[in-house]
A and B are shown apart, each in its own frame.
Chain A
């Protein structure tokens, strides 16, 4: 008789909440139709918050479930809370946006729940099969979300492009995973780590390169970033916020776990790959964003460069480096949600606008809105004492400690270049004359912007709670 495979319920409680909640809401929506839209949206938001709370109150011991293919440690809990909060905040933006539109698909909230579930599975993945299943679950829902505004040609194009390129990257990832399995004879990260300890041959390295290529697509790092501007521009704005704020965090967590836990002893081999990806992402993100007129495209390039900065910390391969990645992703989530909240709020009487010039003169017509956007832009640029500065501080100092001084210097230089286009938005808002007058912000938007603004400002003054949690989380990986 085999031992029971069912884990302790508490270990998988957040995932269980999301899965059962999503199934329940599918039935509600299917039977009630669009009449249930408010119920489904509200319940989905509540489910995300409940799952985040359940994650916070999980025990801090490292637990595994399902024969070791699912692991819950401090690292997973930290990343899950960040992802779930990002998902809840962006779902709030989506609900707010939906209230102004004719099309009210109740499936949007359910797809957000299911892709968030996939992200949690990614963060907790402890072997290659679990990695792939989590990745596919989240990605498949994201492809649909990109095209959910199906009467809009740009959204359909975004969805199709994302789907085709995503399938290609999944293929590369699977090819890499099969090579790794072939050369180590095991799919579990612990088993791979044991096999790598004896030295990795060329086959294993090829496997790792392909696996990293697939993961780099998901975090939209150069040279696998081509889809990002088009998809970010074409998808509905709250969905874009969801892509930027949650999917990247989960994929970054997965990359970190694979590299540190499975290939940790082989850091010298993958460090050069990461350094290349990191420099290319920071550089391209900084230079390509300069010419952008559309603020969503600009945020796409901005997100590419921020992934580059986070990878600086991961390139260090040390506990401090992972700590930096965790702090960076948490702060990045707050900044991204806030900025996309501002973009959602760019609504005139005739509809939403997306170009940077539409912001001109905002400081006079809506000073509070302009102030929040200015704080977020300063933070994204890395101006002290805001949160974005500290995020860069942690990853760069970890890189310097690990002996990667040139990488840190390049990171610093590209962030100076990047500051140009963030500050241009501030200039347009404060010094250009223009007719910018958006419709008054709804309560939900006000709340999201206020919370993000407060987090970004206060982190510089009181960094300890997030940094301490991230420190404990980074420790659990080593």
Chain B
């Protein structure tokens, strides 16, 4: 029993527990905080696999950006908890049914492995690279395959992000007519002659 096993089970247990709490927490702010805990534990699991780069990225991107954004959204939205809980009993039977199905499935899969079922297959290319040269860094291992072996996935993912951006703009941007926007060029083109008008105001007669 290696010490890393103990850490694996520690982090994995906390990860599962906080994942459960994300769903179960009554207060959505607490749910987001549990989500952050889950992310950090997942990052710790990556560390155990000596994937330091992925661990750091997970913390920086998910905890630093995504979860904080969630927190903002949850705090800004006025969520009515009583209303959310109303349909709970109504959906409980179907939810319980699906939960039991998943449980049976897990037991079936576990018993298959315990009974000596074999899991065949070849390692992915990134494993092959990592095994070929033991002493290369994480970033180099990823970089070696990301733009070569996996360039297709990389480009396709890029297109998906493009669609997401385009969709967000299409659905939310209001193009209103007649809005007075700041025009730096116009502002700079103003001179004293066009901007200031000098009037001689006659004494005691007003403008």
A residues near B, CB below 8 A? 2, 4-6, 19, 23, 26, 65-67, 69-70, 105, 107, 110-111, 114-115, 117-118, 121, 129-130, 133-134, 136-137, 140-141, 143-144, 147-148, 150, 159, 179, 182-187, 191, 194-195, 198, 201-203, 206
Starting from the known contacts A198-B120, A202-B112, 4 additional A-B residue pairs (CB-CB under 8 Å) come to A67-B125, A186-B121, A202-B109, A203-B108
Query: Are A206 and B105 in contact (CB-based, < 8 A)?
Result: yes
Q: Considering the complex, give the chain A residue whose CB is closest to the CB of B111.
A: A202
Q: Which of B120, B122, B147, B148 has the most CB of A within 10 A?
A: B120
A-B contacts, 27 of them at CB < 8 A, read: A2-B144, A2-B149, A5-B147, A5-B148, A5-B149, A105-B170, A107-B166, A107-B169, A118-B159, A130-B152, A130-B153, A130-B156, A133-B156, A136-B160, A137-B163, A140-B164, A140-B167, A144-B163, A144-B167, A144-B171, A147-B171, A150-B170, A185-B120, A191-B121, A195-B121, A206-B105, A206-B108
Instruction: Give min CB distance, B3 to chain A, whole Å.
Output: 26
Q: By DSSP majority rule, is chain B's interface helix, strand, loop, or mixed?
A: helix
Query: Are B121 and A185 in contact (CB-based, < 8 A)?
Result: yes
Query: Are B166 and A110 in contact (CB-based, < 8 A)?
Result: yes
Interface residues of B in 99-132 (CB under 8 A from A): 105, 108-109, 112-113, 117, 119-125
Report the separation of the CA atoms of residues A140 and B165 in the bound assembly, to the nearest whole angstrom. Answer: 11
Q: Chain B contacts of A141 at CB under 8 A?
A: 163, 167
Query: Are A143 and B167 in contact (CB-based, < 8 A)?
Result: yes
Report the separation of the CA atoms of residues A203 and B119 in the bound assembly, to the nearest whole angstrom. Answer: 10
Q: Chain B contacts of A186 at CB under 8 A?
A: 121-122
Q: Chain A contacts of B69 at CB under 8 A?
A: none
Mask of B164-202 contacts with A, CB within 8 angstroms, 1/0: 101101110000000000000000000000000000000
Q: Chain A contacts of B108 at CB under 8 A?
A: 202-203, 206
Instruction: Give min CB distance, B176 to chain A, whole Å.
Output: 13
Report the separation of the CA atoms of residues A133 and B152 in the bound assembly, to the nearest whole angstrom. Answer: 10
Query: Are B119 and A182 in contact (CB-based, < 8 A)?
Result: yes
Q: Which of B113, B144, B152, B170 has the most CB of A within 10 A?
A: B152
Query: Are A137 and B159 in contact (CB-based, < 8 A)?
Result: yes
Report the separation of the CA atoms of residues A371 and B19 in the bound assembly, to the nearest whole angstrom. Answer: 59
> B57 in the interface, Cβ–Cβ < 8 Å?
no
B residues near A, CB below 8 A? 105, 108-109, 112-113, 117, 119-125, 144, 147-149, 151-153, 156-157, 159-160, 162-164, 166-167, 169-171
Q: Which of B122, B144, B166 has the most CB of A within 10 A?
A: B166
Instruction: Give min CB distance, B12 to chain A, whole Å.
Output: 16
Q: Which of B105, B164, B170 has the most CB of A within 10 A?
A: B170
Query: Are A114 and B162 in contact (CB-based, < 8 A)?
Result: yes
From A184, A191, A195, A206, B109 is in contact (CB under 8 Å) with A206
Report the separation of the CA atoms of residues A5 and B125 in the bound assembly, to the nearest whole angstrom. Answer: 13
Instruction: Give min CB distance, B29 to chain A, whole Å.
Output: 23
Report the separation of the CA atoms of residues A130 and B117 in the bound assembly, to the nearest whole angstrom. Answer: 28
- Nearest first, the 8 closest Cβ-Cβ pairs linking A and B are A185-B121, A144-B167, A66-B152, A133-B156, A203-B109, A107-B170, A186-B121, A5-B148
Q: Chain B contacts of A159 at CB under 8 A?
A: 171
Q: Chain A contacts of B157 at CB under 8 A?
A: 133
Known: A140-B163, A202-B108, A206-B105. Is A185-B156 also a contact (CB below 8 A)? no
Q: Chain A contacts of B167 at CB under 8 A?
A: 111, 140-141, 143-144
Query: Are B163 and A183 in contact (CB-based, < 8 A)?
Result: no
Report the separation of the CA atoms of residues A251 and B164 in the bound assembly, to the nearest whole angstrom. Answer: 21
Instruction: Give min CB distance, B49 to chain A, whole Å.
Output: 16
Query: Are B163 and A111 in contact (CB-based, < 8 A)?
Result: yes
Q: Considering the complex, give the chain B residue whose CB is closest to the CB of A2.
A: B148
Q: Chain A contacts of B170 at CB under 8 A?
A: 105, 107, 111, 144, 148, 150
Query: Are B122 and A67 in contact (CB-based, < 8 A)?
Result: no
Instruction: Give min CB distance, A3 to chain B, whole Å.
Output: 8
Q: Considering the complex, give the chain A residue whose CB is closest to the CB of B145.
A: A2
Report the separation of the CA atoms of residues A114 and B156 in the bound assembly, to the nearest whole angstrom. Answer: 11
Q: Considering the complex, give the chain B residue whose CB is closest to the CB of A133.
A: B156
Query: Are A69 and B119 in contact (CB-based, < 8 A)?
Result: no
Instruction: Give min CB distance, A130 to chain B, whole Å.
Output: 7
Query: Are B144 and A114 in contact (CB-based, < 8 A)?
Result: no
Q: Chain A contacts of B144 at CB under 8 A?
A: 2
